[in-house]
Amino acid sequence: MRQLGIYNNNVLAGVLTEQVPGKDYVFTYEPAYLASGGVPVSVTLPLQSAPYESESLFPFFVNMLPEGANRSIICRKYRIDEDDIFGLLIVMSGRDFIGAISVRPL
């Protein structure tokens, strides 16, 4: 099981978990974030206390990642499989993403 913290403007909004490598993903908003009246990290992930579950990584998080030649270069540099989308998200965590949402290791 691998996990990442999802931050909105440097405030922990939730936790993204990969239950089984390559499938079974869960995104759960942090109770403190829900109580603070924070905004959703995505329109596809509205605020709710129940976890979101999916067999594939949520498109919002996939779309945060580099594509094409840049993805290939990063995967080669860090020796991860290009099909390991969550692994790529881990490698990119802690770096500057476009917009208010960032990903960091827990």
| pLDDT given at position 14 | 96
| Dist CA 52 CA 26 (whole Å) | 5
Q: What is the pLDDT of residue 20?
A: 75
Residue 21's pLDDT is 74
- Residue numbers of the chain with a pLDDT score lower than 50: none
What is the predicted pLDDT for the residue at 71?
A: 83
Query: Residue 87 has what pLDDT?
Result: 87
Element of type H or E holding 97 = none
pLDDT value of position 62: 87
Which pLDDT belongs to residue 42? 92
Q: Which pLDDT belongs to residue 49?
A: 95
Place of tokens 């692994």: 87
Question: What is the pLDDT, as a whole number, of residue 53?
Answer: 92
Residue 74's pLDDT is 85
Strands (E), 1-106: 2-8, 11-20, 23-29, 52-54, 101-105
pLDDT of residue 48: 95
Of 9, 14, 10, which is closest to residue 61 (Cα–Cα)?
A: 14
